[in-house]
């Protein structure tokens, strides 16, 4: 994967810094608090899926009753993940590149046992 960026979240990180600055939210944005906020958003995302069958869950982003909500919750999770990484000084692209390399060794091709991290 040399030379290829798996993800680029730099513009979002900057936008979120600006957003926080303009609202004096830095006082709240400790990594501990942001990790909690991330949890809360994932909880809201999960609630969209909890009573659906796996098959029904495939259509959540197409169903007009849930499409907007699922997009919003995915966005919220991304927002807090990028903000948390930024505050911690973690380069998400590097972190995910390293993790995928480790996963390639841990889960050899052809092994169909699901990943447990």
Q: What is 33-49 written as a DSSP string?
A: HHHHHHHHHHHHHHHTT
Token output for 47: 């609630």
The correct pick among 2, 3, 65, 89 for binding a second copy (CB under 8 A) is 89
Could you tell me the two tokens for 84? Answer: 């948390």
Contacts of 18-21 with C-beta under 8 Å, sequence gap 24+, read 20/83
Locate 13 and state its tokens: 């990180």
Instruction: For residue 97, give every residue at least 6 positions away whose Cβ sits within 8 Å of its Cβ, in sequence order, or none.
Output: 1, 6
Q: Per CB under 8 A, which of residues 67..86 are in contact with a second copy? A: 70-72, 74-79, 81-82, 84-85
Site for a second copy in 11-30 (CB under 8 A): 11-12, 15, 19, 22-25, 27-28, 30
Shortest Å, Cβ 64 to a second copy: 14
Q: Is 98 in the site for a second copy (CB under 8 A)?
A: yes
65 binds a second copy (CB under 8 A): no
Among 3, 51, 65, 105, binds a second copy (CB under 8 A): 51
Out of 3, 17, 40, 69, point to the residue binding a second copy (CB under 8 A): 40
């Amino acid at each position: 994967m040399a030379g290829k960026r798996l993800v680029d979240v730099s513009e979002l990180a900057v936008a979120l810094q600006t957003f926080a600055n303009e609202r004096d939210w830095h006082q709240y944005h400790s990594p501990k608090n942001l990790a909690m906020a991330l949890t809360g958003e994932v909880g809201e995302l999960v609630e969209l899926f909890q009573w659906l069958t796996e098959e029904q869950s495939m259509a959540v982003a197409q169903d007009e009753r849930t499409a907007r909500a699922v997009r919003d919750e995915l966005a919220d999770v991304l927002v807090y993940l990028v903000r948390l990484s930024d505050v911690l000084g973690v380069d998400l692209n590097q972190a995910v590149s390293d993790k995928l390399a480790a996963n390639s060794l841990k889960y050899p091709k052809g092994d169909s046992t699901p990943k447990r991290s």
